[in-house]
A and B are shown apart, each in its own frame.
Chain A
Amino acid sequence: MIRVVLPPHLRNLAHVTGEVRVEVPGEVTQRHVLDAVEERYPMLRGTMRDRATGKRRALVRFFACEEDLSNESPDDPLPDRVVKGEEPFMVVGAMAGG
């Protein structure tokens, strides 16, 4: 199971508290993890990735193992510690506004 930390707005939308855990079939990539999250919580479709293009929304970031993976290829494998469930994959609302 892959551990995923969602930001508060998305936890509220999905009606969850704390981390969520999803089964990811095949290689554990950013794309596959987000696909699994959206499959389980369809109300989150379009909130992390643009509905039309599938690209990461500009003010959403993806962190794991103290690394910013936002600009990595969505098809790159995620770190082993995420794959093993030792670390979560984090969806973060970027610092913005003022």
Chain B
Amino acid sequence: MSGVRLLVGTRKGLFILTSDGKREDWKVDGPHFAGWEIYHANGSPVDTDRLYVSQSGGWFGQIIQRSDDGGANWETVDNDFTYAGDVGDHLWYDGTPRPWEFKRVWHLEPSRTDPDTVYAGVEDAALYKSTDGGQKWVELTGLRTHPSAPKWQPGAGGMCLHTILLDPVNPDRIYVAISAAGVFRSDDGGETWQPVNRGLQSNMELPDPDAEVGHCVHRLAMHPSRPDTLFMQKHWDVMRSDDAGANWREVSGDLPTDFGFPIAVHAHEPETIYVVPITSDQQHFVMDGRLRVYRSRTGGERWEALTAGLPQENCYVNVLRDAMAVDTLDSCGIYFGTSGGQVYASADSGDTWRAVVRDLPPVLSVEVQVLP
């Protein structure tokens, strides 16, 4: 029977949670890299033993770890994310120009076809690529040198490139999302980029609510069978595009609040999507002390609260943008981690939930792998 492996990045280390295909009994392994912030850990879709980990901390900076045996052993690989060429300026919080300065790697996205090829999204926002398993990173400079870049500004969490989507049909098409610049698409493998934010409205965050750039996009999701359909959790608003990001429309519909961070698509139902609404931009915790995942089976607009097995009183956690994942087993599994250190799993598309672990450090990211 197939098994699953969860890669859970936390404020104080990486935890690896494994189960068989029933997803009832779990083994918890870790912490790996104890004491370090693990913003993201991700596995290759074509070699489940190949893992990449972003390990960082305020004292000693950025480390990238790689495993070739599913996390039993690790190798430190290249951590040189020096910006290529002219560094240039972006806007600081006070509106003054500020040079790009590398802070950390937020997201690692392995290629869909080659375990040695992996992309890294970093703060301050830039995109890097390695084609040798992380031994050397090369910046795809067309993004950071886009003519709009001097107008990009950090969100509260920093000016981070946090989402990388690789088109499963067109290998030259890549989407990235940056807080707070918005969504950018490349159709030539990352050489050149165009902002694709038409339809986004940021009424309270931007002086020009439908500006070309500047939107605080929190997360993008795509179903591999429909790569031109994208779903977005923006700062406020849940959005969708059916034309590869050229136009967006709001699908928040009857959500109780449309602020949030993660968004995910069911593995087998491309119109079934999941969000975790958060009270507001001023109150980063779930509403009314109740942890509710919201599911739409209509690609947005109409939503249902999923609560079975989730705390429905005195709960004030957040779920961060990279902390939700879906597996591809026949009965689709959904997973998410919280700022309170809980990791919840559903083996039935979100109908029922259980806590796999309850007392980890605050969870920054969750990825899932289906093991052969």
Contacts and interface: CB of A to CB of B under 8 A. Distances in A.
A-B interaction: yes
A47 B102 contact: no
Contact of A57 (B36, B59, B63): B59
A23 to B, nearest CB: 23
B73 to A, nearest CB: 11
Contacts of A10: 60
A60 B59 contact: yes
Contacts of A77: none
Given A9-B35, A9-B36, A13-B76, A51 B60 contact: no
Contacts of A47: 60-61, 63
Contacts of B80: 45-46, 51
A7 to B, nearest CB: 8
Given A9-B35, A9-B36, A52-B102, A57 B60 contact: yes
Given A13-B76, A43-B76, A52-B102, A93 B59 contact: yes
Interface in B24-39: 35-36
B88 to A, nearest CB: 14
Interface in A37-57: 43, 45-48, 50-52, 57
B63 A59 contact: no
Interface in B74-103: 76, 79-83, 102
B361 to A, nearest CB: 14
B38 to A, nearest CB: 13
B57 interface: yes
Contacts of B58: 59, 96-97
Nearest to B55: A13
A68 B36 CA distance: 26
Contacts of B83: 52
A46 B36 contact: no
Contacts of B153: none
Given A9-B35, A52-B102, A59 B79 contact: no
Contacts, number: 47
A3 B62 CA distance: 25
B248 to A, nearest CB: 36
Give the most central of B35, B61, B79: most A CB within 10 Å. Answer: B61
Contact of B59 (A46, A51, A52, A59): A59
B76 A9 contact: no
A60 B60 CA distance: 7
A9 B61 contact: no
A97 B81 CA distance: 25
Contacts of B36: 9
Contacts of B82: 51-52
A45 B79 contact: yes
Nearest to A8: B35
B75 to A, nearest CB: 9
A62 B42 CA distance: 35
A93 B80 CA distance: 21
Contacts of A46: 61-63, 79-80
A48 B60 CA distance: 6
Interface string A67-96: 000000000000000000000000001101
Nearest to A94: B59
A17 to B, nearest CB: 16
Contacts of A9: 35-36, 57, 59-60
Contacts of B61: 46-47, 50-51, 57
Interface string A24-47: 000000000000000000010111
21 contacts: A7-B60, A9-B35, A9-B36, A9-B57, A9-B60, A10-B60, A13-B76, A43-B63, A46-B61, A46-B62, A46-B63, A47-B60, A47-B61, A47-B63, A50-B61, A51-B82, A60-B60, A93-B59, A93-B60, A94-B59, A97-B58
Given A60-B60, A96-B58, 17 more contacts: A9-B35, A9-B57, A9-B59, A9-B60, A10-B60, A46-B62, A47-B63, A48-B60, A51-B79, A51-B82, A52-B82, A52-B102, A59-B59, A93-B59, A93-B60, A96-B59, A97-B58
